[in-house]
């Protein structure tokens, strides 16, 4: 048995421990049920839960959420438009976000996936200084998809 200040009170029976907890207006909480004998602690359990939730919120707030931004291209996208998308992707990667590069096919364009693969490989090679390929290009429905993650 441990009291609310962390002082060990020794081994005692459960009814005696419950009486002590009620006298101090605290809760009796079992902290190590597998120990021999089991270890219990006197504490304000509601206050403990509140502080634990507060610590969890602070930890979540401190975490950086990585977003996945998407850049869409087509097999017939012009050179200048591709450069614009390249600058967007570079900015996203520098901000610490992942970039999903999608080459979308329409109609018969899907019969020439090598064109899209070439576009994606040149796109990735131009971003090699700020990102690395996390997911190789693969066909997902009517589009070829690749994910680039920021470099560490």
Residue 4 has what pLDDT?
84
Going from the N-terminus, what domains does the chain have, and what CATH number goes with each? 14-62 (3.10.20.80), 68-150 (3.30.110.10)
Residue 63 has what pLDDT?
78
Residue 152 has what pLDDT?
78
Those residues whose C-beta lies under 8 Å from the C-beta of residue 128, and which sit 6 or more positions away, are: none
Residue 64 has what pLDDT?
76
Residue 121 has what pLDDT?
92
User: How long a stretch of residues is the chain?
Assistant: 152
For 70, counting Cβ atoms within 10 Å of its Cβ (0-12 exposed, 13-18 middle, 19+ buried), the class is middle
For 22, counting Cβ atoms within 10 Å of its Cβ (0-12 exposed, 13-18 middle, 19+ buried), the class is exposed
Residue 3 has what pLDDT?
85
Q: What is the pLDDT along the chain (152 residues), one digit of tens a residue?
A: 888 888 888 888 889 989 998 998 999 998 888 988 889 999 999 999 999 999 999 988 887 778 899 999 999 988 999 999 999 999 999 998 999 999 999 999 989 889 999 999 999 999 999 999 999 999 988 999 999 999 87
Residue 7 has what pLDDT?
87
Q: For residues 113 and 89, give the distance between their C-alpha atoms in angstroms, rounded to a whole number.
A: 22
Q: For residues 58 and 128, give the distance between their C-alpha atoms in angstroms, rounded to a whole number.
A: 35
């Amino acid at each position: 048995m441990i009291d609310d200040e962390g002082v060990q009170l020794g081994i005692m029976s459960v009814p005696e421990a419950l009486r002590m907890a009620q006298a101090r207006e605290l809760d009796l909480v079992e902290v190590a049920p597998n120990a021999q004998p089991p270890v219990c602690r006197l504490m304000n359990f509601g206050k403990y839960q509140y502080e634990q939730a507060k610590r969890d919120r602070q930890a979540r707030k401190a975490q950086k959420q990585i977003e996945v931004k998407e850049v869409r291209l087509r097999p017939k996208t012009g050179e200048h438009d591709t450069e614009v998308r390249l600058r967007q992707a570079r900015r996203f990667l520098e901000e610490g976000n992942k970039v999903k590069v999608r080459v979308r096919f329409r109609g018969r364009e899907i019969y020439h996936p090598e064109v899209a693969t070439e576009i994606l490989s040149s796109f990735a090679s131009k971003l090699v200084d700020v990102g690395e390929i996390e997911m190789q290009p693969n066909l997902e429905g009517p589009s070829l998809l690749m994910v680039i993650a920021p470099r560490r």
